[in-house]
Amino acid sequence: MAGAAFFDLDKTLMQGSSALQFARAAQEAGVISRRQLASDAVANIKYRLRGASDSQSEELRHRIAAALEGIRVRDLERLAVRVLQGILPRLYPQMLTIAYEHQDADRPVYIVTAAAQDLADVLARVLTFDGGLGSHLSEVENGHYTGRATGTFLYGEAKAVAIRDLAEREGINLADSYAYSDSASDVPMLTVVGHPVVVNPDAELLALAQEGGWEVLRLDRLGRKLMVAGIVSVAAAASAITIGVLKASGIQIELPRRDH
């Protein structure tokens, strides 16, 4: 059996958050309100900075599902082009090169993300990857989302379970496989393969990588500074609402100085 390569999406394949790009596209299309966009932006920033417990992830899963209640599946599918317009310019060329080198070495390549399965599928097709594993967030009846959470939210241990299931179906040798991620929440995904690689790691993951002798890739110097590009896009969409809630939450924003 041959190995494969598994890539987390946010801060691994791309700079910043795919969730923010989706929320911005949804707001522009009138699917969610500007206030909801601001709320989602703040929640996402907190998530990226502080991580999330299993209970918080489950709560987020149900909140996302509830927000979809009554929305046509087709309307959400039509957001794909707008979402891709936000994601594609933020992809790390180095990571795409690594992914394609895996394919050329006869290792299939997969995106593994907490984002929706539909987005994982679309991105995999556009990037010519071999497939994607994503979350199933809301059940569907008569072409509309019901708002009831269903399926699996791919976070933490759930990513490792999904990878093991895929490996069993496709005959993938996990001992000869690679996994790439930036976050300590993905330790289950990283340790399920024989070759874990950390990308722009948070402090906790960096410590684990150094202890385990894992490869470390650094693709930018932003570290944990909230990803300036993502913050600028959110500020443009949510304006003072987002900044006000951020300050109320006690989060300090560090922006680069401009040289005059």
Strands in 8-154 per DSSP E: 109-116, 131-135, 140-141, 144-145
10 is catalytic: yes
CB-based contacts of 42-46 (< 8 A; 24+ apart in sequence): 42/242, 42/245, 42/246, 42/249, 44/17, 44/19, 44/20, 45/226, 45/231, 45/246, 45/251, 46/249, 46/251
CA–CA distance from 96 to each of 2, 10, 64, 103, 118 (Å)? 20, 14, 29, 11, 20
Among candidate residues 8, 40, 182, 202, the one labeled active-site is: 8
Phi then psi for 72, rounded to 5 degrees? -70, 140
Q: How many residues does the chain have?
A: 260
Among candidate residues 10, 40, 118, 202, the one labeled active-site is: 10
The alpha carbon of residue 107 and the mean position of all alpha carbons in its chain are separated, in whole angstroms, by 22
165 is catalytic: no
| Residues identified as active-site | 8, 10
